[in-house]
Structure 1
Amino acid sequence: MCRNIKTLFNFDPPATEDEIQAASLQFVRKLSGFTQPSKANEAAFQLAVQEVTAAAEKLLSTLVTNSPQRDRKIEIERARIRSVKRFGPRES
């Protein structure tokens, strides 16, 4: 479940609100063990996602680094190459 959370800091372009919210949702899913909470837990689940999103946004806005920003397109291509090396080429 949590393997889908990607690094969001120090990218050009910066992480979007949707990316931060998606990572927060994955985090709360991992912590709770629910992919879909029951009706009884839905409010607590959604509140947790909102609070984690706010904390993540605050964290990303206050972090500093001396490293140059990474290009999102280059990182995606590197990940694709690693995937091909590990699993072989995708068959259409």
Structure 2
Amino acid sequence: MCRNIKTLFNFEPPATDDEVRAAALQFVRKLSGFNAPSQANAAAFDRAVTEITDVARTLLLSLQTQAAPRDREVEAAKARERSRGRFG
């Protein structure tokens, strides 16, 4: 499940709220073991996703670097190349 969590820091343009929330959702899914929680656990699951999204956004806004921002297309091409090398 966590293979979908991508690095979100130091990209141009910056990570969107949807990208941060998607990473938080994957994180909560991994921790809980639920892809979709039962009705009994839905409120706790949703609250965790919201809280982790807020914390992740705060973290991304707090981080600093001297490195130049990375280009999303270049990084995606590198990932495709790594995947080709791994899986053929």
Task: Give the TM interval when normalised to the shorter protein.
Answer: over 0.9
Q: Deviations over 1:7-58 (max 9, x none)?
A: 0000111101000000000000111111110100000000000000000000
Larger radius of gyration: 1
Aligned match of 1:86: 86
Provide the C-alpha distance between the structure 2 equivalents of 1:86 and 1:43, rounded to a whole number of angstroms: 39
TM-score, length basis structure 1:
0.92
Partner of 2:28: 28
- How many residue pairs match? The answer is 88
Tell me which residue corresponds to 1:68: 68
Structure-2-length-normalised TM-score: 0.96
Question: Structure 1: any 5+ residue segments left out of the alignment?
Answer: none
Instruction: Tell me how large the CA RMSD over aligned residues is.
Output: 0.7
Partner residue in 1 for 2:8: 8
CA distance in 1, matches of 2:30, 2:86: 25
Report deviation, 1:86: 1.4
Corresponding residue SS for 2:22: helix
Identity rate, percent: 64
